[in-house]
Amino acid sequence: MTSREMDAPRAGTTAPPAGGSGDGRDAGPMAHPDRPDGLAGAIRPYRPGDQEALYRVCLRTGDGGNDASSLYSHPDLLGDVFVGPYLELQPQFAFVVDDGSGAEGYVLGALDSAAFATVCERLWWPAVRARYGGASIDQGSADAWLLRWIETPPPVPDFARDYPSHLHIDLLPRWQSGGWGRRLIERLMAELAAAGSTGVHLGVGRSNERAVGFYRHLGFTDLDGDDTTLWLGRPLP
């Protein structure tokens, strides 16, 4: 999918974009007073009890990596689009960073984007549409574009034939250096490859040069793009 590193309406394929606040910010040795170092932080598989924390991370990084809490009148809406379907439908491809204080970052993936879109339409979007169907929404608000996404999810891109998997990553600020984003992505890519995937794609805001550079450093190459979004992919394994 994409890399939820987009500021305004996130361009997407069939489900939540991938990437996010932690993507490009992991590219250098920036110091942070509260950043976990070495073995102080751990990557582990998602657990059902993590969902509330991951929704919170999604919202706190939902404005181009900054806190989006003030932008959405429905605080769970962002997570219902960009986190929930992964946790519900493909939890085996969800990993978090947790130093013992709870999950504060995540990478989420879908093995086959086309199949994932089909299952989302059957098992995820109907309940989400019903949940927000009667909501009173300002058509110019951040909530409104997400509701349009829910009503008509973006199509799966053609390049998903060669890069069928997609990923989505977000990290709270204290994890946005020290290599945690890279470690999360490498863990997910290993799992996707082991499950038979031949490639993974994501999208990132074109203006986020640091994030673009980070992904290219990890071996991702340009696949497609428009004025606001760049799509990148990497073969697997």
Q: List the chain domain ranges.
A: 24-235
Amino acid 188: pLDDT: 98
Only one residue has tokens 């059957």, namely 122
Amino acid 37: pLDDT: 52
At 18-49, the pLDDT tens digits run 444 344 444 333 334 344 455 456 899 999 99
Say how many C-beta atoms besides its own lie within 10 A of residue 75's C-beta: 15
Q: Report which of residues 70 and 21 the model is more confident about.
A: 70
- Indicate the residue type of 36: P
Percent of the chain with pLDDT over 90: 68
Question: CATH for 24-235?
Answer: 3.40.630.30
Amino acid 84: pLDDT: 98
User: How does the average pLDDT of the chain come out, rounded?
Assistant: 85
Cα–Cα nearest to 54, from 117, 4, 8: 4
Q: The whole model's pTM is what? A: 0.85
Question: How far is residue 31 from each of residues 17, 36, 103, 140, measured CA to CA in Å?
Answer: 28, 10, 21, 38
Which of 56-65, 93-102, 135-144, 208-217 shows the lowest mean pLDDT across its residues? Answer: 135-144
Task: For residues 79 and 96, give the distance between their C-alpha atoms in angstroms, rounded to a whole number.
Answer: 15
| Residues 6 or more apart in contact with residue 209 via CB below 8 angstroms | 24
Question: How far is residue 19 from each of residues 6, 61, 115, 123, measured CA to CA in Å?
Answer: 9, 11, 20, 24
Q: If DSSP codes are grouped into helix, strand and coil, which group holds residue 79?
A: helix
Q: Report which of residues 114 and 29 the model is more confident about.
A: 114
Task: For residues 171 and 176, give the distance between their C-alpha atoms in angstroms, rounded to a whole number.
Answer: 6
